[in-house]
Amino acid sequence: MTRVHRVVTHARESVAVQWRPVVMPALVLWLLAATVSTLLLHPGDVLEYERYAHAALHTPLLHRLPLEYPAPALVLFLLPLLLPFSYPWAFAVLVGIALMVLVTSYEGSGLDGWDMRSAGRAIIYLSLGSVMVLAGRYDIFATLTAFLSLRAAKQGRWSAAWTWSGIGFALKLFPGAFWPVFLIAEWRREGRVPVRRLWWMAGAALLVAGVPALLNHGAAVNALHYYLRRPTEDGSLPAGLSVLLDWHGATWIAAFHSVNVVSPVSAGLSLGFELAAIGACLWVWWQQAQDRLAIEAACLATLTFVMLGSKVLSAQYLVWLMPLWALYRLRVTWLLAAAANLIVFPYVIAFPDVASTRGSGYVPDHAFAVILTLTFFARDVLIAVGTVAWLRTLLGNHGARSEQMVVEQGP
């Protein structure tokens, strides 16, 4: 039996086992997400991907690169053009494939706790908090690569882990948050500092900035410039806190394809949260280095603090966290955070011009803008509270196990 035949046979057996508990619910989720995205919300982001794809095919070839995304993401934007459907439906089909690979990757990994129950929890989180964005953004692809990189790292397949995380970094940057965790984990397991992995990181960075520089020098670091120039998005913690602290000084503007909060304190708060996130990540890595946090816990905590410390926290970013949330029991705070993410539904339905024109300058009235921002703030606080409580539980359990080991060993 050839290797390809073995892989196909194993895949068929895995799908057969997971058909009712995992595959069917995931198909229902995808169908709902695709229908909502293509027929109800008319996603402006997907139409933007289509414009980038067609622009890249104009001569000179591949010289018109995305402004707000890493240039390698253009590969994903071009793929739907190969399918015989309208671009939104073709994109939704690719999302469906990525979703199926994601939810069926828990079972059969050979890892404790990575099973069909985890896959079921992932589907619950995704259904509750991401139906409106799942097929309307490309985040699921980078989320899949990040998940596969962590899965490989847990299995001790370090080259595969770094490869998957490098691909994810090239698509959406955030999987790069796993790199310090991988360095620490590989160092602890192998007994030496994996210096050669610095070349993997450099290679991923070269793919994001170096290759585009060869095609269009001015677009080499578009995504970085785009982030640095944009104001505080209304979904971030700094935006919500700035509204609470300076209610009358806050104003809302439509720019950079989002609604943003501008106030006398928003810039300072953004910097403060970014510094706090750096401190929180350093603490997580120290706990991991002391063997108090497992690699999957360190990855989830790091990614959470990076998100919460950013001045941009869009609704689709929760998709990054949900597959990792699913490795642990359902938490009320995370479920409520996912539910709060649904505020985007009435927003895009009540104000379709914002979704369709992509930054036309149209913003909701003041009352609704306040409600929207504070609801997102509540969502972010729930994520933070849930994460801190989860970390306290993990660290407490680790301490209890350590004490038990001392008692069993005796004097």
Residue 380 Cα distances to 177, 237, 386, angstroms: 19, 6, 10
At residue 250 the predicted structure's pLDDT band, cuts being 50, 70 and 90, is: confident
225 inside domain: no
Q: Which domain holds residue 17?
A: 1-218
Residue 218 Cα distances to 51, 66, 72, 221, angstroms: 19, 12, 15, 8
Residue 360 Cα distances to 50, 173, 352, angstroms: 18, 27, 11
* Structural domains in the chain (count): 2
Same domain? 136 vs 242: no
Same domain? 192 vs 312: no
Q: Element (H or E) spanning 131, and its range?
A: helix 131-134
pLDDT in tens, 56-110: 898 777 767 787 788 889 999 999 999 999 999 999 999 999 999 999 999 988 8
- Residue 158 φ then ψ, to 5°: -70, -40
Same domain? 236 vs 262: yes
Q: Is the pLDDT of residue 180 over 80?
A: yes
Same domain? 129 vs 235: no
Sign of the CA dihedral with 153 first, then 157, 159, and 163 last? negative
Q: Which of 174, 196, 218 is the last residue of a domain?
A: 218
Q: Are 161 and 200 in contact (CB under 8 A)?
A: no
Q: pTM of the full predicted structure?
A: 0.90
